[in-house]
Amino acid sequence: MNGPFYKYGMFNEEISLIVAFVIGIGFGFFLERAGFGSGRKLAAQFYFTDMSVLKVMFSAIVTAMLGVFFLSWMGFLDLSLVYVNPTFLLPQIAGGLLLGIGFVIGGYCPGTSAVACSTGRIDAMVYIGGIFAGIFLFGFVFPLFKDFYYSTPMGSITLPQLFNISYGTLVFTVVLMAVGAFVMAEWGEKKMAQKKGAEL
């Protein structure tokens, strides 16, 4: 059996939409399990009191990254058929900054706001209203900064290709970085808890 199954024509588009729904359920389930239906818990990441965002995000990235790496290495997954979103460096850097600012102001990102909304968070519903307003605004002014939107194109490119080092080496480096980040996150949380204890 070879993956990606859909790309090998194992099922049609109608079925793919059911797959989408089921995968979405899994996605939403684990986001809520992690506590990401709570804007306060998410925002705590940026005050070093609860580093769950970093821990969840990087353990998810490392898990999926190792899975993709080993499955492709064993020949079960054809990486050339996996979609790599093309890079447009400058607009993505600007977009990331805006999104980060929006994250700490709004308390959510789009995916977590969906989970917060379905678990009753009224601020998340207001937030989603804001997302729509932002998208409308973006669409209306799009012709004005279309040039910027398409600037600095780099194509579908991965870090191993960019740095010209092997896929395995980069995977290993990311694992090391993630473990380092986890150790620092645990240490930081402890320090903040002590500081809070001292203040009280």
Partner 1 sequence: MSLALDEKTAMTKEEIKAKPYWNPYLSGIGLGLVLLLSYVIMGRGLGASGAFTTTASVVVETIAPDYARNNEFYSEYLTDGTRSPFKDWLVFEVIGVLVGGFISGALAGRIKRTVEKGPRISTKMRFVFAFSGGMLMGIGAKLARGCTSGQALTGGAILNVGSWAFMLMVFAGAYALAYLMRRQWT
Give, as ranges, the residues between 95 and 114 that touch partner 1 (CB under 8 A).
Answer: 95-114
CB of 52 to partner 1, least distance (A): 4
Q: Least Å distance between CB 160 and partner 1?
A: 6
For residues 26, 31, 35, 39, the Cα torsion angle rounded to the nearest 10 degrees is -140
Site size toward partner 1 (CB under 8 A) is: 129
When the beta carbons of 156 and 194 are compared against partner 1, the nearer one is: 156
Check residue 88 for interaction with partner 1 (CB under 8 A). Answer: yes
The pair phi, psi for residue 88, each rounded to 5°, is: -125, 95
Binding partner 1 by CB under 8 A: which of 73, 142, 172, 187? 142
Phi first, then psi, for residue 194 (nearest 5°) are: -65, -45
Q: Is there binding between residue 187 and partner 1 (CB under 8 A)?
A: no
Site string for partner 1, 27-66 (x = CB under 8 A): xxxxxxxxx-xxxxx-xxxxx-x-xx--xxxxxxxxxxx-
Shortest Cβ 141–partner 1 spacing (Å): 9
Q: Based on the number of CB atoms within 10 Å of its own CB, is 195 exposed (0-12), middle (13-18) or buried (19 or more)?
A: exposed
**Is the distance from CB of 154 to CB of 87 less than 8 angstroms?**
yes
160 binds partner 1 (CB under 8 A): yes
Residue-wise DSSP of 11-66: S-HHHHHHHHHHHHHHHHHHHHHTTTT-HHHHHHGGGTS--HHHHHHHHHHHHHHH
Question: Does residue 4 contact residue 78 with C-beta atoms inside 8 Å?
Answer: yes
Q: Does 192 bind partner 1 (CB under 8 A)?
A: no
By CB under 8 A, tell whether 190 contacts partner 1.
no
- Asked if residue 128 lies in contact with residue 112, where contact means CB atoms within 8 angstroms, the answer is no
Using CB under 8 A, which of 85, 197, 198, 200 touches partner 1? 85
Q: If binding is defined by CB under 8 A, does position 83 make contact with partner 1?
A: yes
Least spacing, CB of residue 197 vs partner 1, in Å: 15
Least gap, CB of 194 to partner 1 (angstroms) = 16
